[in-house]
Amino acid sequence: MLLTDIFGRSFMDDFFEDFANSSYYRPNRIGSIPAMKADVQDLDNAYQIDLDLPGFRKEDLHAELKDGYLTIKATRENSNDEKDSQGRYIRQERYTGHYQRSFYVGEDITQEDVHAAFENGVLKLTVPKKEVQPKINESKTILIEG
């Protein structure tokens, strides 16, 4: 019989919780590190966004511009399958992760305006500064028949 301490917790519950949450048994846990850190620089005529994406490849990245928002998505899938000489599993692990980050860049920015380069685990995006053009309210005359 397990006894609880004065705070109502069981020693074994705490033991197994600590054991299961140790970094040894949960390596590369996606929630344990902040992902997709961003640095935004204000240049004279543009903004430069540097996103840290270590371990990702260019093929894992996707950038999209929609409704004035620049969205960067990074997806990674890993599979570590090891078998012994008779084909029995020794270890089999799978991991799928997805990161997404959005920046409002303005509705006047087009896809052709944004420049992106990926090198050494850093995605560099250059977004030009554009003056917001006021929308012209045009009134149209409707012909009334009668």
Please write the tens of the pLDDT for every residue from 113-144. 999 999 999 999 999 998 766 777 777 777 77
The answer, yes or no, to whether residue 78 has pLDDT greater than 90, is no
Domain ranges, ordered by start, for the chain:
1-33, 34-128
First to last CA, the chain: 94
pLDDT for res 63: 94
CATH tag for 34-128 (out of 3.40.367.20, 3.40.50.1390, 2.60.40.790, 2.60.120.10): 2.60.40.790
In whole angstroms, what is the distance from residue 11 CA to residue 4 CA?
Answer: 7
The answer, yes or no, to whether residue 46 has pLDDT greater than 90, is yes
Contacts of 38 (CB under 8 A, 6+ apart): 49, 50, 51, 52, 101, 103
The answer, yes or no, to whether residue 95 has pLDDT greater than 90, is no
Can you tell me the mean pLDDT for 51-78?
90
DSSP 133: P
Can you tell me the mean pLDDT for 49-55?
91
pTM over 0.95: no
